[in-house]
Every structure is written in structure tokens, then in C-alpha cells.
Amino acid sequence: MGSSSTFNFTILLLPLIVGSLMAASASNFNQDFDITWGDGRGKIINNGEVLTLNLDKASGSGFQSRNEYLYGKIDMQLKLVPGNSAGTVTAYYLSSKGSNWDEIDFEFLGNLSGDPYILHTNVFSQGKGNREQQFYLWFDPTADFHTYSILWNPQRIIFSVDGTPIREFKNMESKGVPFPKNQPMRIYSSLWNADDWATRGGLVKTDWSQAPFTASYRNFKADACVWSNGASSCKSNSPSSASNNNAWFSQELDSTSQQRLQWVQKNYMIYNYCTDAKRFPQGLPTECTMS
């Protein structure tokens, strides 16, 4: 092909390329995620707008983000397995790799029809977790899509549901508590069978006559520092150099958000490792004893 026809070719393609970049910014699962397991049980549909995971007796399914992130505000809308979802778990989390991994977890434990899901959360830093907090939700998470967000900046990790903070994990490195800060993480999600523990501690088993079980995802949004080839897309890890739309980088809970958080913790929290003194006979973890 001569150079002039290459030139023409480029001119013709340019609008298409620009068009596809614009579509990508409006959340396209084809662009941002790969279905990683489940042999066809995970699907991207509606031109990339919706992703569904399925679980049947033979297998669950899962996906992961193409990008790795080192700090960000990441929103995803999920609609959980409806009806009798007992025994099923939908996990949605950020994780790095290796034996000293960092991880920020949402896990949704299914239940019998009409009985409440449990939203289970955890934070791992350098391979150590054991920081579970569990909640009921103030709505039926199977009736519609709801937004589950992770804000991860150098000072704190905030878990939110429809914009209401449910949990904050502060950076307490100064007290000797490791904080996730230098291992980039990918987004992962999976739907699988965990009827040995998930529902009422494993008492209620998965009813396979209800299979396939389906969880759906849409409206992914990441305001985040993308990590690639050893470098961050954010200029530096200092807020001053972060651009205007990077308010999340230094975001903290304002007083209204603090009140919302307390409302959730008072009315919907069903387990908090920080109040489980029996579990920690040598004393509660350090981060629990500092406010």
C-alpha cells in the first residue's frame, strides 16, 4: 500500500477511533473488563453497557478489570441474584497480587426469598485481613441496580452504598498499621457457590432447581490513577498536583457524611471485628482502639 492511500485510510478511520474513545468514557465493559472464567457464564451485553455473571451447579463465573489502579474512586452498579439466592456469593473487590497482597472487599451473601442479604466487607493490607464488618441493606438489592463505591486515597478507604458511607478505614501507618499504598489493584468480581458458609453460617444450602443464578453490573465509573508500566497516570501522589477533578484524592467525610455513616452503623451493622473482644483475646487490633 502506498503512503497516500495509508493517509486516506487514516482520515477515514479517525472519526471511528474518536467515536469509540467517547463511547469508552461512558462505561463500556468490552473496553474495561475481561470475563476471566466461567466458560460462557459471564456475558457482556447491550453493546457493552451491561455485564452479567451466572452460576449453575457446574460453575460460577467472574471478570476482572484490564487496568490496575493505585488510588481511585470507583463506582459500580450491581443488581444481585433475586429470589432464593441462599448459598450464593457475589464478590466485588479490588486486589493486588502476591503473598503480601492488599484487598478491599464487598461480598454479598444471598438468602432465602424475602430474607436479607448480608453485605460483608473486609480490608487486607500486606496479606493481613481479619477486618470484617457486615451490614444489612436498607433496600432490596435484587429489585434494582444500586451503586457500590470504593474511595481509596492515601488517607483513607471509604465504602459507600448509593453515596452513603458505610465504612471508613483510615490510614494509621503512624500507629504501625499497614495501609494499602504501593501495590496497584485490579477490580475483580465473581459469582460462586459458598453454601458451606454463606447463608446462616452454612445452614441453608443452594437450591439448584433455581439455577442459573444471575447478578448484573452496569455504569462502571473510575476516577482513578491507572498504573501501567511502573508509573501512575496521576502526576504524583500529592494532592497539590492532582487536577481539579481529582477532589477524591484528598476527600474525607464531611459532617453530613459522618452522620450518615453513624446512621448505617447504628441501624444496619450486624458484625464489627472491632467490637469482637472474644476473637482477640490479646486485645483488639490497633486500628480499632484509635478513633
Ligand X SMILES: *[C@@H]1O[C@H](CO)[C@@H](O)[C@H](O)[C@H]1NC(C)=O
Binding mask 147-186 for ligand X (x = CB under 6 A): ----------------------------------------
Nearer to ligand X, 81 or 94 (CB): 81
- Distance in angstroms (rounded) separating the CA atoms of residues 74 and 65: 12
12 phi and psi, to 5 degrees? -65, -35
> Who contacts 35 (Cβ-Cβ below 8 Å, separation ≥6)?
42, 43, 44, 51, 61, 62, 63
In the complex with ligand X, the residue whose CB is nearer, 114 or 283, is 114
Binding flag, residue 200, ligand X (CB under 6 A):
yes
Show the site string, 241-260: x = touches ligand X by CB under 6 A, - = not.
--------------------
User: Should residue 132 be labelled a site residue for ligand X when binding is judged by CB under 6 A?
Assistant: no
What SS3 state is found at 11? helix
- 133 binds ligand X per the rule CB under 6 A: no
Q: Are 69 and 210 in contact (CB under 8 A)?
A: no
Cis before 212 (ω within 30): yes
CA-CA distances (angstroms) from residue 254 to 82, 170, 267? 35, 14, 20
Question: Considering the rule CB under 6 A, would residue 223 count as an interface residue with ligand X?
Answer: no
Closer by beta carbon to ligand X, 94 or else 109: 109
One of 171, 190, 193, 199 touching ligand X (CB under 6 A): 199
Q: How far is the CB of 116 from ligand X (least distance, A)?
A: 5
Q: Which amino acid appears at position 31 of this protein?
A: Q
The CA–CA distances, whole Å, from 96 to 71, 74, 122, 124, 125 equal 12, 15, 14, 10, 10
Write the DSSP symbol of residue 239: G
Under the criterion CB under 6 A, does residue 44 sit at the interface with ligand X? no
Nearest distance, CB of residue 250 and ligand X, angstroms: 36
Contacts of ligand X in 70-109 (CB under 6 A): 109
Residue ranges in contact with ligand X by CB under 6 A:
109, 111, 115-116, 118, 199-200
